[in-house]
């Protein structure tokens, strides 16, 4: 990575960490983003500040502002007239600053360039910052270009210049591959799981044998426990009530008595869901209208057909919710009765709970969509009433996809349909904003129909994974053994077939969301520690840090430092662009490869805007060398650029690219161009090869995020 440090001189920035704007004072600012209501995001003294302009608002670039009212939120400012050009401009010499903070000692050209770069970016310079830079440049491993790249990455994320930040980011960008370091640490503990294809097959064999060789008694206990769940089922009770109502419609001569019976025994029953209640009420309204007009036979037909249809729907749903798995013969090693009871109880409770959670989400979304449909169908509808409910529905659906437990067990088809529903609702929101009511209503209707048909279907592979985890817990392994098992399981998860939720869980299992998950657990209603985060690789490593010997502690600290660096480079940004960077282990063929992932997007409430973003994957493969894959999404239209230097790369990759296109279309993307190009610039422009130095294949750090050169 080549970082250009141009000899620009800017005004000296004080060492204030918190910017306190005072009325009447003038500040030099850079306009980062224009906002509605005459507001803008300004960068002042290295900090992002939201301000409201009195009068004209500047379009972009540097501007001098005067604070009119600092008590308002945001503060009110105005453009300050430019200084008298006849007066000589004051400039700060970087050498004078360095002399001041180093006690007059000579400094290296590298330190001078780094300090000048920070000054140009409006970063505060003080004694601590200069010392941090000096120690980092002198004592950290790596070339000067790598160190300057680290500083540029820190500035790109607007992080404080400190030894912790510099070392963590440098380790994330230029340290040893994360998978290699964890693998070496596991081997040093003598756990020695062979983290390759053979070992993953062995792990699969163990889980398979566990599931194949359960004792008949265990199988019977599990079956009985699951059968218990289906007894005294509210759905079963409702089916009986519907069957009785259908008989009454056919045999009771007094239609008024039929109406009264349906109201009391079915519509007002606590076993009837809100969506089914709406169907029944519409049925009653239609049937009563027929009866009033003397069409009793038609009224009875309306009642019979609706009740029968409802009965069939509930029967289908009920049969899907009875969870049954073929758990075959003898256990690998006989478990105690107590252990069997623990596992049966845990599995039964978990699977029944996630089935209920799924049902609740489905009913809630269906109810909201029906309300939206009704409001959009009225003559005097107001989009202002519909929008909040639509936003809430999208949010609840997205939260379920990201955090709900049932997404960990459901099959791939259900997950894709939920993702599709979320993307279509986002499209309906756009249509609503444009005033295209009919189009929005049509989409909402389609999604509701799909959600009504959706059934919870646990994936056999995912349930097996859950069973294996429960069995491993019975062993109560040491922290050293837990680390090896967790790393093996984390990699093996990706080998089983990836989905969007599995990819997110992979990042969580590594521990790259450790602090966020712990914070979420503390703020949740239950409160307390997040067990998932604690059992992540980072959670285990933090525990190991307290118990490992000195030699191993150093390795643990290095791994944790790299994880922290990745988290810093992927933190939420408060300005208009969001950038993220990960370097993660990935199982490929019989090797653990290192994959670098760079993400740029518009800032969507301090998150990634999936409809408008770019992702760049850079991986080293044994057969094809380095491969770069750039995905760019603009308004959900996705274009691919796949880069490699091999001559026949395009022919080999085109069939795989077609499969990828199909999968992305399933979750709501439209596919644009698919391009193949060389990875190295000299292969694209051979005539300039001698004149140019080979450019790096990794993205450059810029104020607009990562710069992908195609």
In terms of C-beta density within 10 A (0-12 exposed, 13-18 middle, 19 or more buried), how is residue 456 classed?
Answer: buried
Q: According to the model, what pLDDT value does residue 20 have?
A: 62
| Cα gap 115→124, rounded to integer Å | 10
pLDDT band at 196 (very low <50, low <70, confident <90, very high): very low
In the chain, % of residues over pLDDT 70: 72
Instruction: Enter the tokens of residue 448.
Output: 């509701």
Contact 230, 343 (CB under 8 A): no
State in Å, rounded, how far the first CA of the chain is from the last one: 16
Q: Which residues pair with 233 in a beta bridge?
A: none
DSSP codes joined into one string, 206-258? HHHHHHHT--HHHHHHHHHHHHHHHTT-HHHHHHHHHHHHHHHHHH-S-HHHH
At residue 306, the pLDDT reads 87
Read off the pLDDT band of 564 (50, 70, 90).
Answer: very high
Q: Which residues, 6 or more positions from 101, have their beta carbon under 8 angstroms from its beta carbon?
A: 125, 126, 127, 130, 131
285: exposed, middle or buried (C-beta count within 10 Å: 0-12, 13-18, 19+)?
exposed
| pLDDT above 80 for 604 | no
Q: Is the peptide bond before 357 cis (omega within 30 degrees of 0)?
A: no
Between the alpha carbon of residue 698 and those of residues 114, 202, 597, 679, the distances in Å are 21, 36, 10, 10
> In the numeric block, which tokens belong to residue 144?
């000067």
**How long a stretch of residues is the chain?**
710
CA–CA distance, 494 with 491 (Å, rounded to integer): 6
Summarised one tens digit per residue, pLDDT across range 274-299 is 777 878 888 888 888 888 888 888 88
pLDDT band at 181; cut points 50, 70, 90: very high
397 token code pair: 């659906």
Largest CA distance in the chain: 107
Q: Which of 158-167, 285-294, 499-508 is the least confident region?
A: 499-508
219 — pLDDT class (breaks 50, 70, 90): very low
Instruction: Find the radius of gyration of the CA atoms of the chain.
Output: 31
The residue ranking higher by pLDDT, 472 or 271, is 271
Secondary structure, 3-state, 633-653: EECCEEEEEEECCCCCHHHHH
Is pLDDT at 173 greater than 90 in this prediction?
A: yes
Phi, psi angle pair for 159, to nearest 5°: -90, 155
Average pLDDT on 157-170 reads 92
Query: What is the overall mean pLDDT for the chain?
Result: 76
**CA–CA–CA angle 394, 499, 677 (5° rounding):** 105
pLDDT value of position 19: 56
Per-residue model confidence (pLDDT) at position 7: 30
- pLDDT of residue 487 exceeding 80, the answer is yes
User: Regarding predicted confidence, which is higher, 657 or 702?
Assistant: 657
Whole-angstrom distance, CA of residue 64 vs CA of residue 79: 6
Asked if pLDDT for residue 21 goes beyond 80, the answer is no
The whole model's pTM is what?
0.62
- 10 Å CB burial of residue 63 (0-12, 13-18, 19+) is buried
Whether residue 151 has pLDDT greater than 60: yes
Measured in whole angstroms, the distance separating CA 168 from the mean position of its chain's CA atoms is 23
Nearest-angstrom CA–CA distance, 555 and 545: 10
Average pLDDT rounded to a whole number, residues 389-413: 84
Q: Which of 99-103, 337-341, 382-386, 429-433 has the lowest mean pLDDT?
A: 337-341
For residues 630 and 632, give the distance between their C-alpha atoms in angstroms, rounded to a whole number: 6
* 3-class SS letters over 395-449: HHHHHHHHHCHHHHCECHHHHHHHHHHHHHHHHHHHHHHCCCHHHHHHHHHHHHH
Q: Which residues pair with 28 in a beta bridge?
A: 64
Q: What are phi and psi of 506, to 5 degrees?
A: -60, -45
- Give the pLDDT confidence score for residue 342 in this predicted structure: 61
Q: Which residues contact 55 (CB under 8 A, 6 or more apart)?
A: 78, 79
Vertex 396, ends 394 and 400: CA angle to 5°? Answer: 115
- Weakest-pLDDT range from 219-223, 371-375, 466-470: 219-223
pLDDT, greater one: 705 or 414: 414
pLDDT classification of 693: cutoffs 50, 70, 90: very low
**For the residues of 71-112, what is the DSSP string, one character each?**
SSSSPEEEEPPPPPTTSPPP---HHHHHHHHHTT----HHHH
Q: How far apart are CA 574 and CA 40, in angstroms?
A: 13
The per-residue DSSP string of 253-275 comes to S-HHHHHHHHIIIIIT-TTS-HH
For residue 439, what are its two tokens?
């189009």
Cα–Cα distance for residue pair 434/449, rounded to 1 Å: 24
Q: What Cα–Cα distance (Å) separates residue 54 from each residue in 39, 50, 58? A: 9, 13, 11
428-432, 451-455, 573-577: the lowest-pLDDT one: 573-577
Picking from 362, 255, 264, the residue whose alpha carbon sits closest to that of residue 313 is: 362
Dist CA 215 CA 435 (whole Å)? 63
pLDDT band at 374 (very low <50, low <70, confident <90, very high): confident
Task: Give the residue from 517, 510, 408 showing the smallest Cα distance to 465.
Answer: 408
């Amino acid at each position: 990575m080549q970082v250009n440090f141009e000899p620009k001189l800017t005004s000296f920035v004080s060492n204030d960490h918190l910017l306190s704007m005072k009325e009447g004072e003038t500040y030099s600012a850079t306009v980062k983003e224009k906002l509605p209501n005459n507001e803008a995001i300004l960068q002042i003294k290295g900090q992002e500040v939201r301000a409201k302009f009195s009068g004209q608002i500047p379009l972009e670039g540097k501007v001098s502002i005067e604070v009119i009212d600092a008590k308002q939120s945001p503060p009110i400012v105005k453009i300050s007239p430019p200084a008298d050009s006849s007066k000589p401009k004051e400039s700060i010499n970087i050498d004078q600053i360095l002399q001041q903070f180093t006690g007059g000692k000579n400094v290296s050209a590298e330190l001078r360039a780094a300090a000048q770069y920070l000054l140009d970016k409006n970063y505060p310079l003080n004694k601590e910052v200069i010392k941090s830079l000096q120690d980092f440049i002198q004592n950290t491993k790596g070339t000067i270009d790598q160190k300057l790249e680290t500083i540029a990455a820190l500035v790109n994320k607007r992080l404080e210049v400190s030894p912790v930040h510099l070392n963590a980011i440098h380790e994330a960008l230029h340290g040893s591959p994360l998978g290699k370091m964890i693998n070496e640490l596991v081997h040093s503990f003598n756990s020695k799981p062979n983290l390759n294809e053979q070992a993953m097959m062995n792990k699969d064999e163990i889980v398979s044998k566990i599931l194949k060789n359960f004792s008949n008694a265990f199988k019977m206990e599990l079956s009985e426990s699951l059968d218990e769940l289906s007894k005294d089922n509210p759905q079963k009770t409702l089916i009986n009530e519907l069957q009785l109502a259908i008989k009454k419609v056919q045999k009771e001569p007094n239609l008024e008595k039929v109406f009264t019976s349906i109201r009391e025994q079915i519509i007002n029953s606590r076993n009837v869901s809100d969506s089914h209640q709406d169907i029944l009420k519409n049925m009653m309204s239609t049937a009563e209208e027929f009866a009033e007009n003397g069409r009793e036979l038609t009224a009875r037909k309306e009642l019979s057909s609706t009740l029968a249809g409802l009965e069939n729907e509930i029967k289908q749903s009920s049969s899907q919710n009875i969870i049954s798995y073929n758990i075959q013969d003898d256990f690998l090693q006989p478990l105690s009765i107590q252990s069997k009871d623990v596992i049966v109880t845990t599995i039964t409770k978990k699977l029944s709970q996630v089935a209920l959670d799924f049902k609740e989400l489905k009913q809630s979304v269906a109810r909201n969509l029906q309300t939206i449909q009704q409001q959009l169908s009225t003559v005097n509808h107001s989009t202002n009433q519909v929008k909040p409910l639509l936003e809430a529905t999208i949010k609840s659906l997205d939260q379920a996809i990201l955090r709900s437990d049932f997404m960990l067990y459901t099959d791939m088809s259900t997950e894709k349909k939920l993702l599709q529903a979320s993307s279509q609702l986002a499209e309906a929101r756009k249509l609503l904003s444009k005033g295209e009511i009919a189009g929005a209503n049509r989409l909402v209707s389609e999604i509701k129909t799909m959600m009504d048909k959706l059934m919870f279907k646990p994936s056999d592979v995912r349930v097996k994974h859950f069973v294996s985890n429960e069995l491993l817990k019975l062993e109560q392994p040491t922290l050293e053994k837990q680390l090896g098992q967790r790393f093996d399981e984390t990699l093996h998860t990706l080998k089983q077939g990836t989905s969007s939720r599995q990819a997110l869980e992979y990042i969580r299992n590594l521990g790259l969301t450790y602090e966020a998950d712990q914070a979420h657990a503390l703020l949740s209603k239950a409160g307390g520690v997040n067990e998932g985060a604690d059992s992540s690789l980072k959670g285990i490593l933090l525990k190991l840090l307290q118990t490992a010997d000195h030699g191993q502690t150093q390795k643990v600290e290095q791994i944790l430092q790299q994880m922290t660096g990745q988290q810093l480079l992927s933190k939420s940004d408060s300005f208009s662009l969001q950038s993220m960077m990960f370097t993660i282990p990935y199982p490929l063929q019989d090797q653990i490869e290192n994959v670098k992932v760079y993400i740029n997007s518009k800032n969507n409430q301090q998150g990634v805007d999936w409809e408008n973003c770019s992702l760049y994957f850079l991986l080293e493969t044994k057969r094809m060398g380095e491969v770069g894959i750039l995905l760019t999404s603009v308004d959900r239209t996705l274009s691919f650029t796949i880069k490699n230097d091999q001559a026949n790369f395009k022919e080999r990759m085109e069939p795989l690219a077609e499969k990828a296109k199909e999968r992305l279309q399933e979750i709501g993307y439209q596919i644009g161009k698919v391009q193949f190009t060389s990875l190295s610039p000299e292969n694209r422009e051979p005539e300039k090869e001698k004149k140019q130095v080979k450019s790096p294949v990794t993205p450059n750090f810029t104020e607009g995020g990562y710069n992908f050169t195609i």
